[in-house]
Amino acid sequence: MSFRNAVNLSHLCVKMRVKPDDTVVDATCGNGHDTLFLAQIVTRGRVLAFDISPLAIANTAARLKEHGVSHRVELCQEDFRNLRAYVRSPVAAIMFNLGYLPGASRETATKAEHSREAVETAVNLVRPGGVVTVVCYPGHQGGAEETHEILAVTGGLSQKEFEVLKVDFLNQAHNPPLLVAVYRLEGDRA
Amino acid sequence: MSFRNAVNLSHLCVKMRVKPDDTVVDATCGNGHDTLFLAQIVTRGRVLAFDISPLAIANTAARLKEHGVSHRVELCQEDFRNLRAYVRSPVAAIMFNLGYLPGASRETATKAEHSREAVETAVNLVRPGGVVTVVCYPGHQGGAEETHEILAVTGGLSQKEFEVLKVDFLNQAHNPPLLVAVYRLEGDRA
């Protein structure tokens, strides 16, 4: 067993915190890989999945249908900075996978300032004991700036309320993706 | 549940890879906290514990005796660069907790070049599927240089043979300790 990469590790972080009847969020559904992963772990729960791109929403819908889990997922073609309008009560997990939609134009990439705002909103929408995962791509065009923004906003969170881990894959070539995992603390530390 | 700090997270990494009948190594036994942790998980196995300081060896011996696990531990007052002379066959885990001995003179701190050499030796003494954990203290005097050396040597390991993760606690004050975990890969990736 190995962790392989930041996306795979983000799944592990989420699995450790999510129960089958939870509500969870995919903030950047892209081609639907994370959305499908979430739908497969909340077998009695619900997934809210967002993407601003109609192509991403269509690709995700097709993937969910293929795996027979569409009924557990609400797809929203929406800017991820507007999460708060849809997430009415605290959720167990919110996943971000930044960068551009694989297979589509790179002009559709997430933008540093927008991503910062969305992540800042997300950390306040998870319950105590819940987690926000952010996969960042410092090697992409504009990705270094975006990564910098994510590290700045999560690194500034209150130590009393959140635990923030950054995981780098040190010996991989070509600026590999990294993971930021924000845990909302429970109990007397919260 | 939270990970709290790099030392606590290093225990989690080791627990995931070690079975009760394994042989494991504490390369820097210090006051014996990691040695005790290891002795308590290899209930049918064996711990080799090293420290160059006689005070560290004495403190560790006392701690192990207090918890009734001395019989599973071999204590060696020895420079950790000489691990290879004692570790005759591949082990499941080797733990490093760098810096100075808590409670003693700061002159006893590990040295950057020595630590680099010891870690470089250690990664080749764990079995496929095993792990080397290194807790680094960039906030200590000389700790930034030592951390730099550890990141350089582990970041340069072959991607085919090792997976190397660096975990930072992003929102903690005062240059918190960080963890480097080196996994030796199994099977077709090794």
**Side chain identity, residue A174:** H
pLDDT of A24-67, one tens digit each? 999 999 999 999 999 999 999 999 999 999 999 999 999 999 99
Q: What are phi and psi of B121, to 5 degrees?
A: -65, -45
**What does the longest C-alpha to C-alpha distance in chain B come to?**
47
Taking the CA of residue A56 and the nearest CA in chain B, the distance in Å comes to 31
Q: Interface pTM (ipTM) of the complex?
A: 0.94
Angle at B48 between CA B46 and CA B54, to 5 degrees: 140
Residue B1: its chain A contacts at CB < 8 A?
Answer: 129, 186
Instruction: Give chain A's residues under pLDDT 70.
Output: 1, 188-190
Token pair, residue B72, equals: 């599973």
Taking the CA of residue B42 and the nearest CA in chain A, the distance in Å comes to 21
Residue of A156, A169, A183 lying closest to B2 (CB–CB): A183
pLDDT at A137: 96
Contacts of A61 (CB under 8 A, 6+ apart): A32, A70, A75
Chosen from A134, A150, A159, A170 to mutate, greatest number of chain B CBs within 10 A: A170
Residue of A1, A4, A151 lying closest to B170 (CB–CB): A151
CB of A100 less than 8 A from some CB of B: no
Q: What is residue A47's three-state secondary structure? A: strand
| DSSP label at residue A85 | G
A23 contacts A42 by C-beta, under 8 angstroms:
yes
Q: Alpha-carbon distance B35 to B26, whole Å?
A: 6
Q: Alpha-carbon distance A168 to A149, whole Å?
A: 16
CB of A86 less than 8 A from some CB of B: no
Token pair, residue A118, equals: 């969305």
Residue B169: its chain A contacts at CB < 8 A?
Answer: 163-165
The domains of chain A, with CATH numbers, are: 6-184 (3.40.50.150)
pLDDT of B88-135, one tens digit each? 999 999 999 998 877 777 677 889 999 999 999 999 999 999 999 999
Residue B171: its chain A contacts at CB < 8 A?
Answer: 154-159, 162-164
CB of A163 less than 8 A from some CB of B: yes
